[in-house]
Chain A
């Protein structure tokens, strides 16, 4: 098992998981800021 380099599938799962997490963070904090600005305008 030595020399277990990251392969294409592994890179895909890692990239996908990281993307989902980063997207979730961007979405939730964008919504918070959007609603904060909206409430201030109202």
Chain B
């Protein structure tokens, strides 16, 4: 019944794949917006504190759980939690480590396909072109209309009406993802990471150089952009919301709480290092975020539109910056078509390396727990993703609703379970021994206390604050999109519980609890 588990071919490949998992659209769009909105340079104080007290500890916990799984021949939290906590409920909680990434990928692949579509339209000159006008709103309107047209959001009623090309690009993106997964961990994911990651860095540096050489007719240059992002507002440090925003950004950027790192780490050998591998993956991600992500979109926007207009664009969210402001800027600079193509291709590559990571826990579950071959697992996953993606593609409001429950609250809940089950329920001393064994560097003992006390407390504070901040407005939604999304999540949860129950009954040859 069990399938021989794969392993990473090289250490570099593993680190690039893990970094590729973490580097996504958020590095280039979410980070600069968050930093600029929350105190500029001063934001980096809570950011770095969160990195040490929350990000790195959770990352190492997930790596350690994955290596523990590797020793036992399992690649998801379902079985890992079942080993750590001798309680029948543990495996069902562990299912969050499959459900969360699987559900996120349902809409993430669709958003990823927009970047491919935009990249293609940039190349063929199909993006809007607009003459320079004094008013930013007028200038951005054609780009807003283009996004609305391509996502079908202009339709009336509860159904979205995207054009055929949007659907085709979604299918192409889905097939690319499935093909990479079909090739396997070493020949697929690792190989793609080795090609895509250097390309992401080359494209980002190319764009960074172009942005740093931009000037506006009013005389603004990159120093204005960097000033907007980095000049500190120290009063922000007394605002708890700024600290929570920094913690949230660190949490999202490292991709902890998805279960994908756990799965990736389960493909290392049982006596391989996790400490330096985890740190190297995080370092590469931070390079992409702080140095490259902080030097492209928002800097270009400030040069082109000015500080006030950029603040307005950023306040509407990262998508306005990436999908409207940036192509609008590229539309009026020499070789802008090419730079627009590079920008969206960069986002596409960053998206692909993340979405394949999000798919892998489901593949690992089907292979390790049910005994399916990789081919069969990928086909099943493909059918599921194809069918499920029609919800965010065609039903208005569903994408945001799924993102809130799974991509926001779900991540924090699962990360909290990982820390609590490992350090509180399993045994903190055994957990620490598991954490520090066979590593190439020594993890300081201070992290034992951070992992046991500080990180879980931090997560609880984040969870409570997000619940109070967002839940009332989310629960007040009663449209068809919101209820479809809730029904979809409920269906997946129930289906998952039934599947796990049946699988464990079959495994144990007895009735499972």
Contact = CB atoms under 8 A, between A and B. Distances in A.
A29 to B, nearest CB: 6
Contact of A1 (B229, B273, B284, B308): B308
Question: How would you classify the secondary structure of chain B's contact residues: helix, strand, loop or mixed?
Answer: helix
The 9 closest A-B pairs by CB, nearest first: A13-B41, A10-B231, A10-B230, A28-B280, A6-B227, A24-B283, A14-B230, A35-B440, A25-B283
Interface in B229-271: 229-232
Interface string A25-40: 1011101100110000
A19 B311 CA distance: 27
B3 interface: no
Interface in B206-231: 218, 220, 223-224, 226-231
Contact of B224 (A3, A11, A28): A3
Report the contact-size class of chain B (Cβ under 8 Å from the partner). 35 or more
A20 B311 CA distance: 27
Contacts, number: 93
Contact of A25 (B220, B231, B232, B287): B287
Given A10-B40, A10-B230, A29-B280, A21 B291 contact: yes
Q: Which of A4, A18, A25 has the most CB of B within 10 A?
A: A4
B280 A10 contact: no
Question: How would you classify the secondary structure of chain A's contact residues: helix, strand, loop or mixed?
Answer: helix
Contacts of B230: 6, 10-11, 13-14
Interface residues of A, number: 28
B283 A32 contact: no
A9 B232 contact: yes
Given A17-B290, A22-B287, A7 B231 contact: yes
A41 to B, nearest CB: 15
Nearest to A26: B283
